[in-house]
Amino acid sequence: MPEGLKNASGKGFNRKPTVYVLDSTALIAGQTDFSRKEFVTTPSVILEVMHDESVKNVVEVAVESGQLEVSSPSEESIKEVEELAASTGDMARLSRTDLDVLALALEKSRAGLEVVVISDDYSVQNLARHMAIRTVGMIHPGIRKRITWITYCPVCRAEYGVSNLSVCAKCGAELKRRPAK
Ligand SMILES: [Zn+2]
C-alpha cells in the first residue's frame, strides 16, 4: 500500500501531527513553551495546578489563546486504561487524574495523532509505554531532587561522608545519615 494511503487519517500528510499531553508535574514545572507546540490536558489536571498563582496565570493565558486544549476523556477510555493498569501492577500508584491523562493520550493516539505524554510520574510513563505512546520526563530541581547522603555519628560528631558504615569507628555508636548540602 502506498504511504499516502496508509496515513489517510493524518490529514493527508505522511507525517502525523504531534500533540503533547501534559500532566500536573509538566504544568507545575512551568518550562512549557506554549507558543511552539500543540498541547492538551484534562480538567482534573487544571484543577490540581490552579492553587499555584504563577502556574494559574500561565495556564489561563494558554487556555484562552487556544494554545492549551482542555479535554475530558470518555469513561470508556478511562476504563480501558484502568484494565491495562491492573494488568501491569500500576493501578495502586495511579491517581484518578493520572488515569484521565492516559485515557486522553489513548484517544488522541487513536484519532491518528502522534502523541507524547509529558510527565515525571514513573507509573504514568510506564503505562504510556504499554500503550505504545511516547513519554518525555522533565528534569526539574523542584520535582526530581537528587540527594546525596552523608553518614555521621550523633554521639561524637565524627563524619564519614558517603559511606556504607553503620557503626562509628571511634565510639561504636549507631551512625545516622543526612542529606549533603
Ligand atoms: Zn562516634
For 123-136, how does the pLDDT look when each residue is reduced to its tens digit (9 = 90+)?
888 889 889 999 88
Note the pLDDT of residue 37.
64
76 shares its domain with 98? yes
Distance 161 CA to ligand 1 centre (A): 14
* pLDDT given at position 139: 56
In the reported structure, the alpha carbon of residue 145 is separated from the centroid of ligand 1 by a whole-number distance in angstroms of: 29
Binning the chain into helix, strand and coil, the percentages to the nearest 5 are: 40, 20, 45
- Asked, for residue 142, whether it belongs to a domain, the answer is no
Same-domain pairing of 47 and 125: yes
Residue 27 shares a structural domain with residue 69: yes
Q: Which helix (H) or strand (E) holds 11?
A: none
Nearest Cα to 66, choosing from 105, 40, 31?
40
pLDDT of residue 177: 78
Mean pLDDT split into 10-residue runs, the chain, 181 residues: 42 72 84 74 93 86 89 97 87 89 97 92 86 80 49 92 85 85 64
Same domain, 130 and 55: yes
CA 152–ligand 1 middle distance (angstroms): 8
The domain tally of the chain equals 2
Is there a domain that residue 144 lies in?
no
Distance linking the first and last C-alpha atoms of the chain: 60
